[in-house]
Amino acid sequence: MSKPYVYITRNVPAESLEPLRDVAEVEMWPHKETPVPREVLLEKAKTSDALFTMLSDKIDAEVLDSAENLKVVANLAVGFDNIDVPHATEKKIAVCNTPEVLTDTTADLTFALLMATARRLPEAVDYVKNGEWQNWAPLLMAGHDVHHKTIGIVGMGRIGQTVAKRATGFDMNILYHNRSRKTEAENELGASYVSFDELIETSDFVVCMAPATNDTEDLFTYEVFEKMKSSAIFINASRGSVVVENDLEKALANKEIAAAGLDVFRHEPIGADHPLLKHSNVVALPHIGSASVETRKEMTALVSRNIRNVLEGNSPEAIVNEEVL
């Protein structure tokens, strides 16, 4: 019997694929810098037993319906908003993701973004590198303190809680808002559950760590930014869809808030002409929450194990639609 066929939509580090190569014929989109074109994805999906996918691949009904043998779509991400999960479930196709392995790394990046935005690090680095540092001045590149301030975390899942853990090291007052209470965060980290309105009105740092869902779509509007302190700093390392970007731009222009640190955007990648980039108090990153060499290796290995488990008829370590098993 021929081996199952696995298609990988990006050029990923080869060494993490070993568990897969033992049991499957593995093919990978060969180009390092470019994503797989839609027509290639559709063509490859037709004969694939498993698809190893990225957040930027739209795995919609058209892809799922074109596939004749597909048993699993395994995303290299904890998020799976790029996949039509209900349709996959209907077709008994497993959808897998990579939780846990990226939690600490993403929380580290979120905190780094918060620090960089508060203390104006990118501006300060440019200032030195551009040779503008000619004199000392009392308020030269003065930013805002992080320690002992109030951080409000919207979305207290694994990553949100790990950001809160980082915040305890900075003696911060921790507020959170989530669909459900997280008593472990309250007991172990001293976090307080508050309403969304109380959080946005009283936090010095409003940090969004919520997943992309119908409930979180367009959550941060002008009205919400207007309610924040004018000294508040908004941090988003979750999904671009939670923010109405024009409203954020207007809120920054009108000084409704002090600054924003953004690792995610509604339509990625963004170009240099993106309206938010004209503000010097916006720190923008290219969606690198989980992008450490160590974590990307672990994520790739987990995707490989998820696929192998499904192909061998075992339960994968991380599955989104368990009902298909």
Q: Which is nearer to ligand 8YV, 36 or 78 (by Cβ)? A: 78
Binding site for ligand 8YV (CB under 6 A): 54-55, 76-79, 102, 287, 289-290
Q: How far is the CB of 295 from ligand 8YV (least distance, A)?
A: 8
The CA-to-CA distance between both ends of the chain, in Å, stands at 23
DSSP state of 3: P
Q: Which is nearer to ligand 8YV, 166 or 287 (CB)?
A: 287
Q: Which is nearer to ligand 8YV, 54 or 219 (CB)?
A: 54
Least Å distance between CB 77 and ligand 8YV? 3
Cis-peptide into 286, omega within 30 deg? no
Minimum distance from CB of 272 to ligand 8YV (Å)? 20
Of 157 and 289, which has the nearer Cβ to ligand 8YV? 289
Is 267 tagged catalytic?
no
Single out the residue of 53, 142, 151, 81 nearest to residue 110, CA to CA. 151
CB of 99 to ligand 8YV, least distance (A): 8
Q: Which of 239, 296, 305, 308 is catalytic?
A: 239
Residue of 268, 294, 312, 322 marked catalytic: 268
223 classed as catalytic: no
Per-position b or e across 43-81, b if 16+ CB within 10 A of its CB? ebbeebbbbbbbbebebeeebbebbeebbbbbbbbbbbe
Nearest to 13 by CA among 321, 294, 325, 245: 294
Q: Would you call 148 a catalytic residue per the annotation?
A: no
Report which residue's Cβ sits closest to ligand 8YV.
Answer: 79
Q: How far is CA 189 from the centre of its chain?
A: 23
| Pairing, β 233-236 against β 205-208 | parallel
Return the active site residues: 239, 268, 287
